[in-house]
Amino acid sequence: MLHMSRGRRGNGEGTITQRKNGTFEAKITIEGGKRKSIYGKTRKEVQEKLKIALREQQQGTLVTSPQQKLEVFLKDWLESTQKHSVRPRTYERYEEIVRLHIIPVLGRHYLQKLTAQQVQAFYTKKLDEGLAAKTVENFHIVLHKALDTAVKWNLISRNVCDLVTPPRGEEFEIKPLTVDQIHKLLDVMRGHRSEALFLLALVTGMRRGEIMGLKWQDIDFATSTLQVRRILTRVPTKLRAEGHKEVFVEAEPKTRRSRRSIVIASFALEALKQHRVRQLEVRTKAGALWQDHDYVFCTSIGTHVNPTKDILDPLKALLRKASLPDIRFHDLRHSAGTLLLAMGIHPKIAQELLGHSNISMTMDIYSHVLPGMQQEAISKLNDMLAGLGEEDETTD
């Protein structure tokens, strides 16, 4: 039992006194001989808080840092922990979420006094403003990650985001092309200057940034394989030189699993060979203007392609020409993944080819293929085992 008196206290112990405004205060000695105050409306409330504080002090988890506004902490968190640890595009999204949404609503609150109720009200406010549930869920993810860092730094004792109920946005519906639709797309893109690019996306499931960063040195025509070693990623607006609208830099692939070797189908390999011949002709025509970056897919002077003008816009035009649904470039990757599983390719192989970090991600994304696979498996099981019982009876 804790013995608390008005005038006696030892190192690490607290005393409870009533303040002039009627509330109660307990003080506890912390590192360096400083005193930390604990407040409450009643003596009992302060006693409970004091017990918790003494226990946390004994466990080394008591928060003793000076109070700071959430705005100050979030800016420091972005600069000191995220700027150089996440991909530039990810950092840009984090910074925009913090600057445009979290700080204007919650930034004035002290980090140590932020409550679950305030965070929940923030989510509700954003939903009432008409933002999608998925967008607000992303706000929760960023704030939760930041407050996890605050807990590790011993600035707060717990993450209040653990106590709220964030909105659950619907997952983006993937729209893979069917086999018939793929054949239609192949027909209209035959002879197109980007034929090899779209064909590679369909047969390998490579991401757009991976295709943009692909170099001839990554392709081994003798073994029909390519290595995914890098991506091209857009530099965040804040980090660009003044006057530059879009800047792309080479970066590491998305995850460790994204660095992978892919076997190329023979018809796609042939398309790449033809593409290389045409590129050499373009290079000769460019002459001294050519910039040798070794990109497989590049502009007329050898620089990297533009993801919108050189990839997305031509894809949209081809889809319209083939009277096909308006899909994203990323849905070509989903088309490849769907085909792999629908053909009975083991999910582990599909995971490796697509560069997913784990097999559960592959199964979650392509769960729509599973019912058909289950039906096919049961049909095969039925064909294999049906009649065995009857055969056994005839041998008696």
Residue 37 has pLDDT above 60, yes or no: yes
Residue 113 has pLDDT above 80, yes or no: yes
pLDDT at 218: 97
Query: Does 1.10.443.10 match the CATH number of domain 179-365?
Result: yes
Least Cα distance to 36 among 17, 51, 19, 50 occurs for 50
Average confidence (pLDDT) over 41-60: 76
pLDDT at 32: 59
Q: Token pair of 26, please?
A: 């307990």
Least Cα distance to 146 among 97, 89, 73 occurs for 73
Cα 274 from Cα 279, distance rounded (Å): 9
Q: Token pair of 63, please?
A: 């928060």
Taking the alpha carbons of 67, 72, 76, 77 in that order, is the dihedral positive or negative?
A: positive
Query: Does 2.70.180.20 match the CATH number of domain 70-163?
Result: no
Note whether 258 and 210 are within 8 A (CB): yes
Question: What CA–CA distances, in Å, run from 263 to 220, 294, 323?
Answer: 10, 20, 31
Residue 126 has pLDDT above 50, yes or no: yes
CA 35 to chain centre: 43
Condensed to tens digits (0 to 9), the pLDDT of residues 151-200 reads: 888 888 889 999 999 988 766 677 888 889 999 999 999 999 999 999 99
Tokens 């705005």 appear where? 71
Residue 3 has pLDDT above 50, yes or no: no
φ, ψ for residue 214, nearest 5 deg = -70, 135
Name the residue type at position 202.
Answer: L
| Residue 143 or residue 113, greater confidence | 143
Residue 60 has pLDDT above 70, yes or no: no
Least Cα distance to 112 among 38, 221, 21 occurs for 38
